[in-house]
Structure 1
Amino acid sequence: MSEDPPSTRAGERRADGAAPGALPPAGRRSRQRARKPSRAGRNLPAAIGVGVALLAIVLVGLFFMPSAFVVLVAAFAVLGTREVSRALTVKQIHVPLPPLYAGAAAMPFAAFYGGPEALSFALVASALAVLVFVCLETAKDAARNAMSGVFILAWVPLFISFALLLLDEPNGAFKVATMLLLVVANDTFGYLVGVLFGKHPMAPKISPKKSWEGFAGSVGGAVVVGVLCSVLILHLQWWFGLVLAIATVAASTAGDLAESMVKRELGIKDMSNLLPGHGGIMDRLDSITFAAPVGYLLAVLLAPGAG
């Protein structure tokens, strides 16, 4: 998750269409006082509460109701797809929604019940459906709309479905939980160290608040969590946790910067305002979408059959 403040900056819009300056100055001041933002500009109580609630729901489904967990991932995929599709309309990019929603809902189920082959088939079928819908709807900007639709399918439902492929591995639920804890550690330690010591921006044109000091904090915190989870939960060698932690931080940071780059290009701050203190679903999934494929590949390559 980005260290940028979720409040809308001058000249930017939220993807839900809210324009800056909609409230009078007095109303804005009272609203800002009520939110009590932290040094980094977040509404920390809301952010922490929503984050803990989401993590608890995900872990309960993961360990006690796997089928419900699949439904939850599919719901996240559909909501994330919806947010990105709506955000693209800022640049007059209109993707066909029926095949996108159908593909986003189908891919997690294909991954869980059919494995990598079924997931690949679902992606190809969804992409072909997008192309057909674009051709039938209009010829104006058809290529741009079709490519944007395929981009959304790959970015959101495909990447997040790798978590369900990982779930099918030996000791899969604990591996997924470890991956999620590493993403949380990346966000938490990166945020804390970045707020306290951040002075050198990583990518000032994309995410001005993300610093190299925060990145170092993410690596340090994730390594501790990864090694402990590898030894105590996964019953693997400590070095697997080390490699997984570093790779997850790198992937999570890339996912965060990738979403920030898209939002900068679109001129928006948040994908939506669905989650108080966080923004939209994609403002929470940005790290996970990139971390899930990396976690799956490392589990398959470095810990096959381990459990």
Structure 2
Amino acid sequence: MMKYILGLNSVYHESSVCLVGDGKIIAYAEEERFNRIKHAKISCPDNTDILPLQSIDYCLQVAGIDGQAIDKIGFSFVPQKRLQNLGIDDYPLTGTGYGTESGEQLVQQKIVTTSEQIRDYLNHPNLSFKWLDHHLCHAVSAVAISPYHESAVMVIDGIAEFETISLSYALNGKIRSIKRFTYPNSLGFLWEKIARYLGFTKYDAGKIMGLGAYGDSERFYPAFREFIELGQGEFRIDNKVLQIRSDDFSPLENLFGLQQRTASEPVILAHANVAAGLQRITEEVILDLAEFLYHQIEPRTKNICLSGGVALNCQANSKLAQQGLFENIFIPP
């Protein structure tokens, strides 16, 4: 009898499901395809318990099974690790958002109900349920379907539980961690904050990347370097300037000499210049980390797998290919 594992991702956004049977992908789906809400939901502390139920139904239907046929559930988050987010922002936080005591308590209260929710939904009270490290899941999502038996692995997103960048090495299905970066040192959150500064939403990184093509990357590059340190495998953001979790843009306005754009205002060359500077600093961070990772692996590997939201930056990926350290680059479709 086939053994089925159901993988769930739904803490933040891009809620999705993957059904694996005897080690092979049977079906997968993103919840936004069914609920018709872009990204499935807007990430916030009070909805971490919303499960991609329509995606689950679809995967079961494709496999021709019911919930009781599932042997194990894997969920791409470890709630206890999220507690590290408390008290690390060195600027005032109000309300019940991420990083506040009440917000993080709400995350915990909501997400811990997930295991029982899914057991009830599948009518499977004794179903095995396991919390899984978010960045490990990202890494496996690339490694498991890549054509390589060994590769470097780079995961870059906004935030997992607490990690923001993970550098690893994969060999024959096993992944060895080499280095991890944690909040607030996040390229993904840097893009979200700059997108909002430029009058877009936090989910508009693709638009900002496109806008940067019209700008001069030299114009605001020195300003980015005022609060971003990089080099020799290091990456740090001065969060007193960026203030990732706040709606205060005054430090950025003072640094760039440019007021935050509202959505109704026209986009001008200065906005494109900021976007271009952001793209340049992103490429420099990624190329530096890739070089660092390359030299940490013996014997050297020709392969690298990328995952996480920032891995969708096609311009940075192109520069990584041109760098020449890795002959083969795999990014999950």
Report the TM-score when normalising by structure 2.
Answer: 0.27
If each structure's helix is expressed as a fraction of its own residues, which one has the higher value? Answer: 1
Report the TM-score when normalising by structure 1.
Answer: 0.28
**Which has more radius of gyration?**
2
